[in-house]
A and B are shown apart, each in its own frame.
Chain A
Amino acid sequence: MGTTVRQTIAAGETPGFSPSAVLSWVGHRCWQMARDAVPLVIMLVLIIGLWQIVADRPTSALPAPSKIWTDSHDLILHPFYDHGGLDKGLGLHLFASLKRVALGFALSAIVGVALGMLVGTSTIATRGLDPIFQVLRTVPPLAWLPLALAGFREAQPSAIFVIFITAIWPVIINTAVGVRNVPQDYRNVARVIRLRGLGYFTKIVLPSAAPYIFTGLRIGIGLSWLAIVAAEMLVGGVGIGFFIWGAWNSSNISDIIVALFYIGLVGFVLDRLVALCGRIVTRGTSA
């Protein structure tokens, strides 16, 4: 698909931008977007329609889409209202959660990449640390929460710690693999030009490991977003997790469904954002 676009651009550029060529290019792009979007729209209509038919009866335990709209259109239309306390729009709850994730994830990225490099370069560090990592990474995120609460004695840093400890393992492990697996070809080049020490590390090892590092970061951000909702349900305060818990306690099932939809969208955007950073930093060599 990429090649057709490039060919069309080139064709549009050749004899001094004739209007018809530009028009045909615009038409082509519109056609491509429609081709990609139409199946998705059809699927959404089908799913929502089926849901409406199944759930639209008085005995139904879960609300139909039409009921969700009447119950919760405030949430959908005004994501940033603020009535004080915990009565805020979904946008503000998501923003609070995102702040925690940003802090926890940034910490895990820094510490994770550093530890991963240590483990990847030193066999002693591998022997000493790798077994510990392998055991700790299997501990479920929420199991850390009571320990964090006991240590920090406050909700906010505990939630951030849970994000940190959740996201760090894939970052460490992928960085270590990337650093360890610098292709023999690149190492031979470095040896021939006598590139050693720090220069070897920054000019060969780091760029070569970058795609692995970003794979780790991408898994990490996904796990962070998974963990934040659960952690917030337990620690309370402003945040999308506690919003859901609050909605459940006041039986606003419609609100929960709207919140789930938002969580999914934000998680998707986060994943794509890290992938995009990866592509920019590795100059297109990372997938």
Chain B
Amino acid sequence: MSSFLEISDVGITFKKGTPAVLHKVDLHVARGEYIAIIGHSGCGKSTLLNIVAGLTEASIGGVVLDGREINSPGPDRAVVFQNHSLLPWLTCRENVRLAVDQVFRNKKSHAERDTWVDENLDLVRMLPHADKRPGEISGGMKQRIGIARALAMQPKVLLLDEPFGALDALTRAHLQDQVMEIHHRLGTTILMITHDVDEAVLLSDRIVMMTNGPAATIGEILTVGLPRPRDRLALADDARFITARAKVMAFLYARHRNPAQAA
């Protein structure tokens, strides 16, 4: 398998003398693949995502994306943050525009950037609300703007840090469908952190299951063989879906129970 994103032997220790948070994490991702990383709270999955994003530096090991080693954050690894992280003083359009202006400063003309911003807002169906400020729209809409901003950077890999964690179930399902559609249409490589088993099985090609910390690492990787495009209604009774779901559940709740809950 040709790997597009290579996470090799990554480990991180925040303070000298304390046990490692992550230990020997090794993951190879192909171009266009959708990877879900699942694990209990505190297992370091967000830390792993931040290392790929370049926001946190690994203590040992390294990450190579498309043949180039990662040592700082950049728009080729756009992040959709858990709490959306939109700038409240800018409108939705201006939030996307800020990223586009910065990333395509020398590559696109002013008019091209205008169209590109609108195209991405349209992709997440937020064009009608583009001139509102983040304070005036719902949580789901904010997250859609976050996704539009990330996609507008034309990243090599899109990093989603529990993007739907703070949303209600209906909004979440709606956004999951949109992300699936975008992934299908653009073929973006996606790395998603989640703690929702259904979400992981529904969206991803492979599910990376993390063991509990300290020294958390990859416990198992499950390949989800479901054909795309996927339909959440049809899959609800699908035997393959149910088996995959059961396997992840068994990993999380039987073999690697949350230490906080076990105690």
Contact = CB atoms under 8 A, between A and B. Distances in A.
A188 B98 contact: no
B99 interface: yes
A43 interface: no
A207 B74 contact: no
Contacts of B85: 185-186, 188-189
Interface stretch (A48-56, A111-119, A190-198, A212-220): A190-198
Interface residues of A, number: 19
Given A188-B55, A282-B89, A283-B89, A193 B75 contact: yes
A90 B169 CA distance: 64
Interface residues of B, number: 24
Contacts of A195: 98, 102
Interface in A39-65: none
Contact of A193 (B83, B90, B99): B99
Which one of B54, B74, B98 has the highest number of Cβ atoms from chain A below 10 Å of its Cβ? B98
B53 to A, nearest CB: 7
Main secondary structure of the interface of A (DSSP, over half): helix
A186 B90 CA distance: 12
A19 interface: no
A203 interface: yes
A210 B87 CA distance: 13
Interface of A: 185-186, 188-189, 191-195, 199, 203-204, 207-208, 210, 282-285
Given A194-B102, A285-B135, 19 more contacts: A185-B81, A186-B87, A188-B79, A188-B85, A191-B55, A191-B73, A192-B53, A192-B77, A192-B79, A193-B75, A193-B98, A195-B102, A199-B102, A203-B98, A204-B87, A208-B89, A283-B89, A284-B133, A285-B88
